[in-house]
Structure formats: structure tokens, C-alpha cells
Amino acid sequence: MNVSFVDLGAQYRDIKVAVDQAISSVIRDTAFIGGKYVREFERLFGELYGVKHVISCANGTDSLYIIMKMLGIGQGDEVITVANSWISSSETITQTGARPVFVDIDPVYYSIDENKIREKVSVRTKAIIAVHLQGQMCQIDHIRKICDEHGIHLIEDCAQSHFSSLNGVRAGVTGIAGSFSFYPGKNLGAYGDAGCIITNDDELAKSCRRFANHGSLSKHKHEVEGINSRMDALQASILSAKCAYIQDWTAKRIENAYLYTKKLKEVSDVVVPAVRPGSVHSFHLYVIRANRRDELMEYLKERGVETAIHYPRALPNLDAYAYLGHTREDFPVASAYEAKILSLPMYPELTESQVDHVVECIRSFYA
């Protein structure tokens, strides 16, 4: 039996009629950039999140960059983020001219260790990017309190946490703005690059929308310079079609995670992901910690089970950040987990027999 890491083909087969129709409508109307299909997706997503503004853009990296840039973050500033994430969470800080300041991860939940944030706040700190990694929210209320105490912005990177919540509050609505990616493999994925910003702040919404479209809110009126970061209508129409299914897909991910956790419980060489009390973990990733991880990964591969590592190097340990002069001891948890973490196949269409196969292979490896 083969179990791929993700299976976007299975999802497409389930919703082929809706997706094909969405694509042909855009082509029929030759409405490729902006226009009604993009507005319609912004309206739908805003409704799902109960927010005033959704600003679509080209991808979930630009969305982070645009938020920070429009908050006036730049040269001489510092922005705090987490040591284990996709590089977008830190490279966008550098893009603004500011300096990324990393905080180690929590040993249980993998997200930023909220007890280690205060020691990293300085007079130059302008914002914290809270990354809701793997589909589980970090302790957003606690982080919000730190931000309020110091008068700094809270930005939420929700690229992996569509429809995740903590104590009934969704990812992306506690800070000044939330940033989403619709990269194909994300829980809500386009068929190319796409992203968006959500916010209830009218001023920020206006400036982000203007900046993402060459500094222009109406044709040939450029109040400022900006960039070209627009969502194309093909992506928007596909995303709109998918909005009808996203709650159901999230529920299926949660069911599959539950099955994995139940079946892996007695495997003592494996630590299953912990769910915070009050947390709806949307399981973008199902990450275990495993003894002899590399050997296990190879063993699974030989048996048709595709796994991945998110991420093989903690951000401060990447060559790109050598200039910051960190050592692995500065981020002991994130550094130690580099050799342990393993992401198992996870998607809504995963069947129970596939889960069983993965678990059986893991059991037989350690037996």
C-alpha cells in the first residue's frame, strides 16, 4: 500500500465539477486579475472569519511583508518570531529592513515559548509574529498581553492554521492582522500561489490593499509606490469553490489525527502531538517525535509511506542567519527537535486503512 504525504489529486477528484466550472467561468469572462472573482473570494473568506477586511495578495509571504511594511516597521527595528517555522516568518522581517529576533519553542506544543518572549523584548521591538504552527494556535492571549504591556504590534501567521481556534477564538483575529497562505498543500489551497490578510482595522486594510496593487486604489491614481502582489482570479475562483468544503475537510483532518493518536499511543518510541486545552487543532501537519527518526523515515519510505520534516533546521540554525551569531545552545528545544520531529501523511481523504498501514509500519520498525 502506498500512502503519499499529501494527495491533492484525491481532493480534486472529489470536487472536480465545482473546480472545473470555477476555472472555465474565469476564462469565459477573461477576468484574470482582480475583479469580481477576487472580490467574491474576499467576501466569502471574510464571512467565514467574521472580519471586516480581507485583502487578497499573491502569496502568504507577501501578506506578512505587506502587514509589517504598512505598520511602518523597517530599518533599526526588531521583530520577534519563533525559532521553528517556515522561513517566511523571518525573511519577511528582514525584507522590511528590520532584524528578526528568535524565541525558542515550547517543548510540548512546538509553538513559540511564551515564557521566553519577555527577555527578548527591547526598546527596538516593534512587533511579535505569532506563528500558529502545524494547525495549533500558540498562547495568543498571553502573547497579546506582552504586546499590550510594551505597546508593540501582534501579527498572526496563520499559514498553517485555517479554522484553528483557542477558547473559541479563531487564529488571525486577536492581533492587528492575520496572514494566510493558500499554497496548494495548505489546508485551504489554491492551484498556484495565493495569500491574504485579514484585519478589522480600516486604515491598515486600506494601506495594505493600496500597497499590494502598485500603491493604487483606483486606476492610474498612485498615491504612493507599492508592489505587485495580487491574487489572480483563477486562484480566487478555485478558493471560493473550496470554501464550501473547508469545514468538512478540517473535521476529517481532526478525525484522522485522532485515529493516529489512538493507534500510536502504546508505541513508546513515539511522542504523539499534544492538543492544548480549549484548542481546535486543524492538523495541517501531524508531527510526532520519534527515536531513530532518520532510520524510521527510511523504513517507512521503503514500505510506500511518504513522510516529511517540518523543519529539518530551526530558523536560527540556517546558513541564512549565521550573521546573527547564534549557537544551537541559544535555542535548545528547537535544536534538539531537529533530529526527532517527523510529519506523517495527513489530509482529509486519508482512509483508516492507510492510517493503519502507517501505524503498523511504525510498530514493526520498533518491534
Footprint of ligand PLP on this chain (CB under 6 A)? 59-61, 85-86, 88-89, 131, 157, 159-160, 181, 183, 193, 195
CB 5 within 8 A of CB 306: yes
Query: Nearest 5 degrees, angle CA 83-CA 88-CA 90?
Result: 45
Kindly report each contact of residues 83-86 with a partner whose C-beta sits within 8 Å and lies 24 or more positions away, as own/partner: 83/314, 83/315, 83/316, 83/331, 83/334, 84/110, 84/133, 84/311, 84/314, 84/315, 84/334, 84/337, 85/131, 85/133, 85/157, 85/311, 85/315, 86/159, 86/310, 86/311
Q: What is the rounded distance in angstroms from the CA atom of residue 156 to the CA atom of residue 139?
A: 12
Nearest distance, CB of residue 235 and ligand PLP, angstroms:
11
Q: What is the rounded distance in angstroms from the CA atom of residue 28 to the CA atom of residue 192?
A: 20
Nearest distance, CB of residue 87 and ligand PLP, angstroms:
8
Nearest distance, CB of residue 316 and ligand PLP, angstroms:
16
SS3 103: strand
Q: Please name every residue paired with 100 in a beta bridge, in sequence order, or none if there are none.
A: 79
User: Which of 56, 89 has the CB closer to ligand PLP?
Assistant: 89
Question: At 202, which helix (H) or strand (E)?
Answer: helix 202-212
User: Which of 153, 357 has the CB closer to ligand PLP?
Assistant: 153
Read off the DSSP letter of residue 305. B
CB 164 within 8 A of CB 132: yes
Nearest distance, CB of residue 183 and ligand PLP, angstroms:
4
Residue in the shown chain whose Cβ atom is closest to ligand PLP = 60
Nearest distance, CB of residue 47 and ligand PLP, angstroms:
22
User: Which of 60, 172 has the CB closer to ligand PLP?
Assistant: 60
User: Which of 136, 181 has the CB closer to ligand PLP?
Assistant: 181
Nearest distance, CB of residue 104 and ligand PLP, angstroms:
17
User: Which of 187, 354 has the CB closer to ligand PLP?
Assistant: 187
User: Which of 51, 130 has the CB closer to ligand PLP?
Assistant: 130
User: Which of 70, 355 has the CB closer to ligand PLP?
Assistant: 70
Nearest distance, CB of residue 331 and ligand PLP, angstroms:
17
